[in-house]
């Protein structure tokens, strides 16, 4: 191409773009002053005349612009109908190139005269496309073939058109920032030139044919049937000529023929969709250009799809395949955590934390397709959704209208994902053009599950990554790992085990997968939801405040929290809350039944606590406070300290123990990629049939156990619940952080030496509260935060003034100055408590504190007391707290053992008991009754009350 032609093409493109742009801008102003009926007519005419302008220019310029037009003509689900009607003409053949040009290219490429190659060559092409045209022919050996011949000089035209398209997209993004298609055009610029090498296309065709024709059995996760499509055989190829087996078929836009043959168009598009799902999720090698011109339908029953043209074929890595599959399944499940994790894995970086909107946008790509007749309503729905998201972004970032138009919430967009989304859009357009509905979530799901679940199905004996590759710290850890392999993936999904003995790490093992739909291996820094294990952490904060002189165990709660002292709660003391004897064991239980998400509203839940009435007299009965414990203790923590609960958590526990980023009550944005997802061991759950617990467990907790057990993982896997402040049930931690916490408690508050240096990444190396690049607003933030669960960085906190719903504002700061609390933890960091021996007695309710606990009760002050070796509980040296489903943390003071187990496959605690028994027996330490074969099982949570193995 000479410079004259280059300049001419460029001027035509940009002048037409400007002409159309100003036309639409003028109409936008004009329709403001007309009636609705006239407005629709004006817009229809505007679309028609501009569509004709676009078509005329694309036919004139050919090359890349024809391909673009073909793509747009398939988007009946989003483009106005006039554009579809006009641009679909590009799906038909373009004007053919002269036969002399065709002959010259063939003879030059194949180095033989045409007569030596073909016994018959049909001069009229079957089709002429943007890059090449196709002729039917018969080889000299009698085989029927099609010959694809590249247009002379098309390579230079395509490369120039890509430059023009890139410039045009950049101009559009500048003029209308909300329409920034730069990531898409960048990926197209990288991939499109590959279509110009027909040797590349030939190899792609062979590869896709092999992939789709092979049987995919259990080794790939259970997708057992081959996809039922046809792909022509490659006969010969060069750089510019491709000879393929001839397959007689019906074109997809030939509706009359499809009707005459009785082709089931619904089944046809479903089979094409299955073929692409297989290519993407199973093979990681897929055709990136599924427009109608690249398909035929065989003329013999059962009328199979024929797949053509593999020039633009994309290969993606196994990790990207898994990330795309995870993105798909997270949309199907509505799992915000998994979606954000998938984004991180595929390299999609966001500048702002808006998980609900991210889910809405991602789900758009997998939504059920609409027919062409519904396109107009579909466009309106998508526009409405887009406007809602823009408003949410504007409110989130505190931007004005102009700023929000210029703000791009995506920091980085991976090219592989762009091609993937382009394929989904083309498939959607294909179904719309054939006027059928396709439920992509149903059709593609088995293939996505196959990708994610395939590695998990192999189990620990064949998967070298099932146990995290970290050094073995001791002989007992080696035996533990053998036990985990023996238990296998049928009992374990993901697990962490960490143990300290006499202040030294002897076990630090991680194994399994992060979730049912997340086959990434569990690592030492993975975060597990641990349910009621959180109570032991919350109790630790109460004890820390007592040690700092901020409150007293025998102090009435109403003295700390005045609004609490109503409805016969005036006599409830701090030790009653810690000992589960306040009589408020069923408080707030109805909330979970009527509106589970209300638990996300911290202030509302504290307000509800103040209105509750105890069912028993304080101190008269120990009945497990399964849900209310967190808000009861959380309220006194905040009112006694004058600080947010999470600030106290950091000051009292996280910073002195140097476990930043690995212990939370309510996760902050930015840690989603390290989260383990919960699931339920349904086989174990069936053992609960007819189970009866003792009087210390509320009957309400035992009602509908199976329903509760299956429903809680769904609830606690949601981002709203994970980010909420639930100090009884919402702890997220690693086993190494939890074990370190109990090692410090067991050592009278003395902080152990640094955690094992072989544990990677090092404990405490994470930023505790990650920040998004744009979270800091230029505008001054108002003091306080929203009551409702939100997805911004402030959702983990709440009003620092602790203003009650009833208008009470009072902070307890008279028992010591604020500086002393901070300075106490900013020194050497060697101690958590000033009087550690006294704290140990308080934990277990012995010595001076024996009168504060219920006689023969299972709890001390905030911790479950474990009997061992037949000793009476009052003299036991072991305490801790377990959580529903099997996670636990405890320490044995007498024997210097601290141990934590985190699991994400919720069961009756059998795995945890096997693990704890093995460790204790190997160390010669008495097995705590919670974990012994026939010992007394505490009321920590129903699902841990399993019968003996």
Do you find a cis peptide bond into 526, omega within 30 degrees of 0? Answer: no
885 DSSP 8-state letter: T
In sequence order, the 6+-apart residues with CB closer than 8 A to the CB of 111 are: none
* SS3 category, 419: helix
φ, ψ for residue 132, nearest 5 deg? -150, 170
Q: How far is Cα 532 from Cα 880, in angstroms, rounded to an integer?
A: 11
Q: How far is Cα 635 from Cα 474, in angstroms, rounded to an integer?
A: 42
Q: How far is Cα 841 from Cα 860, in angstroms, rounded to an integer?
A: 9
Q: Which two tokens stand for residue 914?
A: 């096997």
Select from 261, 258, 236, 232 the least CA-distant residue to 247: 232
What burial class does residue 863 get, using C-beta atoms within 10 Å of its C-beta: 0-12 exposed, 13-18 middle, 19+ buried? Answer: buried
What burial class does residue 225 get, using C-beta atoms within 10 Å of its C-beta: 0-12 exposed, 13-18 middle, 19+ buried? Answer: exposed
The C-alpha R_g of the chain, in whole angstroms, comes to 33
Contact 739, 889 (CB under 8 A): yes
Select from 889, 875, 869 the least CA-distant residue to 929: 869
In sequence order, the 6+-apart residues with CB closer than 8 A to the CB of 97 are: 128, 133, 151, 152
Q: How far is Cα 321 from Cα 284, in angstroms, rounded to an integer?
A: 6
* SS3 category, 844: helix
Overall size of the chain counted in residues: 949
In sequence order, the 6+-apart residues with CB closer than 8 A to the CB of 345 are: 319, 322, 323, 326, 520, 673
How many other CB atoms sit within 10 Å of the CB of residue 48?
16
In sequence order, the 6+-apart residues with CB closer than 8 A to the CB of 781 are: 794
φ, ψ for residue 435, nearest 5 deg? 65, 45
In sequence order, the 6+-apart residues with CB closer than 8 A to the CB of 270 are: 438, 443
In sequence order, the 6+-apart residues with CB closer than 8 A to the CB of 451 are: 221, 281, 282, 321, 322, 325
Select from 643, 384, 666, 409 the least CA-distant residue to 534: 666
Pairing type for strands 679-680 and 905-906 reads parallel
Pairing type for strands 731-733 and 349-350 reads unpaired
Contact 149, 239 (CB under 8 A): no
Active site (catalytic) residues? 289
Q: How far is Cα 684 from Cα 686, in angstroms, rounded to an integer?
A: 5
CA 645 to chain centre: 27
Contact 64, 163 (CB under 8 A): no
Q: How far is CA 495 from CA 460, 485, 629, in A?
A: 13, 12, 26
Contact 879, 866 (CB under 8 A): yes
Contact 545, 648 (CB under 8 A): yes
Select from 375, 439, 304, 383 the least CA-distant residue to 73: 375
E strand or H helix at 29, and its extent? helix 3-30
φ, ψ for residue 273, nearest 5 deg? -65, -40
Q: Which two tokens stand for residue 509?
A: 């093992």
Q: How far is Cα 134 from Cα 149, in angstroms, rounded to an integer?
A: 6
């Amino acid at each position: 191409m000479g410079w004259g032609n280059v300049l001419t093409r460029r001027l035509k493109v940009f002048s037409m773009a400007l002409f159309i742009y100003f036309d639409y801008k003028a109409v936008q102003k004009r329709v403001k002053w007309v009636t609705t009926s006239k407005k629709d007519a004006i817009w229809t005419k505007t679309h028609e005349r501009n569509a004709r302008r676009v078509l005329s220019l694309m036919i004139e310029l050919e090359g890349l612009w024809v391909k673009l037009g073909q793509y747009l003509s398939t988007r009946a689900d989003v483009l106005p109908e006039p554009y579809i009607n006009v641009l679909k003409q590009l799906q038909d053949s373009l004007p053919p190139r002269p036969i002399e040009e065709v002959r010259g290219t063939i003879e030059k490429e194949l180095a033989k005269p045409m007569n030596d190659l073909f016994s018959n060559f049909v001069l009229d092409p079957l089709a002429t496309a943007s890059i090449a045209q196709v002729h039917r022919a018969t080889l000299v050996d009698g085989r029927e073939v099609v010959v694809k011949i590249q247009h002379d000089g098309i390579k230079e035209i395509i490369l120039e058109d890509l430059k023009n398209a890139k410039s045009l997209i950049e101009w559009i993004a500048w003029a209308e920032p909300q329409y920034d298609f730069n990531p898409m055009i960048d990926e197209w610029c990288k991939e499109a030139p590959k279509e110009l090498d027909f040797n590349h296309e030939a190899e792609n065709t062979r590869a896709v044919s092999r992939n789709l024709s092979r049987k995919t059995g259990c080794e790939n996760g259970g997708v057992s049937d081959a996809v039922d499509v046809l792909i022509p055989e490659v006969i010969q190829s060069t750089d510019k000529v491709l000879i393929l087996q001839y397959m007689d078929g019906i074109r997809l836009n030939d509706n009359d023929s499809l009707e005459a043959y009785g082709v089931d168009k619904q089944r046809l598009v479903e089979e094409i969709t299955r073929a692409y799902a297989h290519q993407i999720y199973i093979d990681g090698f897929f055709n990136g250009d599924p427009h109608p011109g690249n398909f035929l339908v065989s003329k013999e029953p059962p009328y199979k799809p024929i797949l053509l043209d593999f020039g633009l074929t994309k290969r993606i890595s196994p990790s990207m395949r898994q990330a795309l599959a995870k993105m798909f399944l997270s949309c199907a499940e509505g799992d915000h955590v998994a979606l954000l994790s998938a984004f991180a894995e595929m390299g999609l970086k966001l500048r702002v934390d808006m998980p609900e909107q991210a889910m809405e946008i991602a789900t758009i790509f997998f939504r059920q397709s609409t027919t062409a007749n519904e396109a107009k309503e579909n466009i309106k729905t998508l526009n409405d959704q887009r406007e809602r998201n823009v408003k949410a972004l504007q409110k989130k970032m505190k931007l004005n209208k102009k700023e929000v138009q210029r703000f791009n919430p995506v920091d980085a967009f991976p090219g592989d994902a762009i091609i993937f989304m382009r394929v989904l859009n083309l498939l959607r357009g294909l179904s719309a053009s054939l006027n059928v509905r396709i439920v992509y979530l149903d059709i593609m799901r088995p293939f996505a599950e196959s990708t994610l679940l395939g590695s998990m199905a192999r189990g620990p004996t064949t998967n070298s990554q099932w146990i995290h590759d970290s050094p073995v710290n001791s002989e007992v850890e080696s035996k533990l790992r053998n036990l985990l392999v023996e238990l296998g993936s049928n009992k374990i999904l993901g697990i962490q085990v960490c143990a300290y003995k006499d202040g030294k790490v002897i076990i630090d093992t991680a194994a399994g997968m992060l979730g049912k739909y997340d086959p990434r291996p569990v690592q030492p820094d993975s975060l597990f939801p641990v349910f009621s294990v959180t109570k032991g952490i919350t109790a630790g904060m109460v004890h820390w405040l007592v040690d700092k002189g901020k409150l007293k165990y025998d102090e009435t709660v109403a003295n700390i929290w005045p609004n609490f002292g109503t409805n016969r709660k005036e006599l409830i003391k701090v030790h009653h809350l810690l000992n589960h004897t306040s009589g408020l064991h069923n408080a707030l239980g109805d909330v979970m039944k009527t509106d589970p998400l209300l638990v996300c509203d911290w202030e509302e839940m504290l307000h509800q606590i103040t209105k509750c009435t105890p069912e028993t007299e304080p101190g008269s009965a120990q009945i497990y406070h399964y849900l209310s414990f967190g808000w009861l203790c959380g309220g006194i923590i905040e009112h006694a300290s004058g600080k947010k609960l999470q600030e106290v958590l950091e000051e009292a526990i996280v910073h002195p123990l140097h476990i930043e980023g690995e212990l939370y009550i309510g996760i902050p944005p930015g840690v989603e990629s390290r989260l383990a997802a919960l699931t339920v061991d349904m086989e174990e759950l069936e053992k609960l049939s007819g189970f009866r617990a003792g009087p210390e467990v509320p009957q309400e907790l035992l009602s509908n156990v199976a329903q509760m057990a299956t429903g809680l993982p769904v609830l606690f896997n949601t981002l709203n619940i994970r980010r909420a402040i639930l100090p009884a049930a919402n702890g997220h931690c690693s086993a190494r952080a939890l074990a370190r916490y109990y090692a410090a408690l067991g050592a009278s508050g003395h902080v152990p030496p640094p955690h094992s240096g072989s544990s990677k990444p090092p404990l405490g190396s994470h930023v505790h509260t990650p920040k998004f690049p744009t979270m800091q607003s230029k505008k001054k933030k108002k003091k306080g935060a929203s009551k409702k669960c939100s997805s911004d960085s402030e959702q983990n906190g709440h009003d620092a003034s602790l203003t009650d719903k009833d208008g009470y504002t009072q902070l307890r700061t008279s028992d010591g100055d604020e500086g002393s609390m901070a300075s106490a933890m900013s020194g050497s960091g060697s101690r958590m408590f000033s009087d550690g021996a006294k704290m140990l007695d308080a934990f277990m309710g012995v010595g001076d504190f024996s009168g504060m606990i219920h006689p023969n009760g299972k709890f001390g002050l905030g911790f479950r007391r474990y009997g061992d070796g037949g000793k009476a509980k009052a003299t036991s040296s072991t305490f801790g707290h377990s959580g529903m489903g099997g996670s636990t943390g405890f320490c044995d003071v007498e024997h210097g053992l601290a141990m934590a187990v985190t699991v994400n496959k919720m069961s009756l605690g059998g795995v945890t008991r096997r693990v704890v028994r093995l460790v204790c027996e190997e160390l010669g330490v008495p097995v705590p009754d919670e974990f012994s074969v026939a010992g007394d099982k505490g009321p920590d949570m129903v699902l841990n009350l399993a019968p003996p193995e």
